[in-house]
Amino acid sequence: MASGDAKQTLFEAIALMGKAFASPRRLELLDLLAQAPRGVEELAEQSGQSVANASQHLQALHLAGMVTRTREGTRIRYAIAGEEALRIWLALRDASAAGLAEVERAAHDYLGEDVETIGREELRERLARGDVVLVDVRPAEEYAAGHIEGAKSIPIDELDQRLEELPDDREVVAYCRGPFCAYAHEAVRQLNARGRNASRLEDGWPEWRLADLSPQTP
């Protein structure tokens, strides 16, 4: 029979991942890395923390197997550690949203009132019919790292100036990083204020990417 010490060691090893999730800063870094690989300086700037603090959090995520790191000259580039790590992060996020009233309240305070939404399968059908135009309102570097096929890149801070690029005879569907990303909400509000018919995709690029990677059921 295995010893109690060995069993304890096993569960301590498993707990490394749980400990990595015990910081909102680390979760924000995972959310950023779910969109595109980044250097530590960029991650620090976009998450509003010092490079030293971001480096410590990334080290914890690396030890837990949630991120990979690659040296590029004198810089280190971080990425989420593959499909399984992405699934774990999204499952944690979605389970928290479904089970904790605090998450729902915080999301409402951050995002404001919800806007018109469209689901993934309905969007696929409408894209095939050509009766909607899909806009990726994330930063351009995230679009370059991966995006929904057929989407046009118009970062949210450029939307107002580039409105003429969108046909006025079709509904505009905006998407960004996921259900807690404010960019798509803001895009729909801007478009509605300009008299345009618009909605947001219920989820975002990471969910769409995983759906495309999953085996299709007959």
The reply to whether 89 and 155 lie within a common domain is: no
Amino acid (one-letter) located at 209 = R
Instruction: Tell whether the model's pLDDT for residue 174 goes beyond 60.
Output: yes
Q: What is the pLDDT of residue 218?
A: 37
- 204: nearest Cα among 131, 102, 97, 119: 119
The reply to whether 38 and 121 lie within a common domain is: no
In a domain, 102, yes or no: no
- 202: nearest Cα among 58, 101, 94: 94
What does the pLDDT look like over 95-149, one tens digit per residue? 999 998 999 899 999 999 999 999 999 999 999 999 999 999 999 999 999 999 9
Q: What is the pLDDT of residue 73?
A: 85
CA angle 11, 17, 20 (to 5 degrees): 130
What does the pLDDT look like over 11-36, one tens digit per residue? 888 888 889 999 999 999 999 999 99
Q: What is the pLDDT of residue 213?
A: 60
CATH number for 90: 1.10.10.10
The mean predicted confidence, pLDDT, of the chain is 92
The reply to whether 83 and 21 lie within a common domain is: yes
Counted domains in the chain: 2
| Rounded Cα gap, residues 172 and 191, in angstroms | 8
| Rounded Cα gap, residues 6 and 130, in angstroms | 59
Catalytic residue among 61, 176, 184, 198: 176
> Which segment of 150-154, 174-178, 192-196, 214-218 scores lowest on mean pLDDT?
214-218
Instruction: Tell whether the model's pLDDT for residue 217 goes beyond 90.
Output: no
In a domain, 76, yes or no: yes
The reply to whether 121 and 71 lie within a common domain is: no
In a domain, 208, yes or no: yes
Q: What is the pLDDT of residue 58?
A: 97
Residue 125's SS3 state is: helix
CATH number for 114: 3.40.250.10
Q: Print the domain residue range for 15.
A: 4-96
Task: Please give the backbone phi and psi of residue 198, each rounded to the nearest 5 degrees, phi first.
Answer: -145, 155
The reply to whether 121 and 206 lie within a common domain is: yes
In a domain, 218, yes or no: no
pTM above 0.95, yes or no: no
The reply to whether 37 and 67 lie within a common domain is: yes
Residue 181 is a catalytic residue? no
Environment class of residue 199 by beta-carbon count within 10 Å: exposed (0-12), middle (13-18) or buried (19+)?
buried
Q: What is the pLDDT of residue 11?
A: 86
In a domain, 104, yes or no: no
| Rounded Cα gap, residues 142 and 184, in angstroms | 14
Banded pLDDT at 215 (limits 50, 70, 90):
very low
- Looking at residue 196, the DSSP 8-state letter turns out to be -
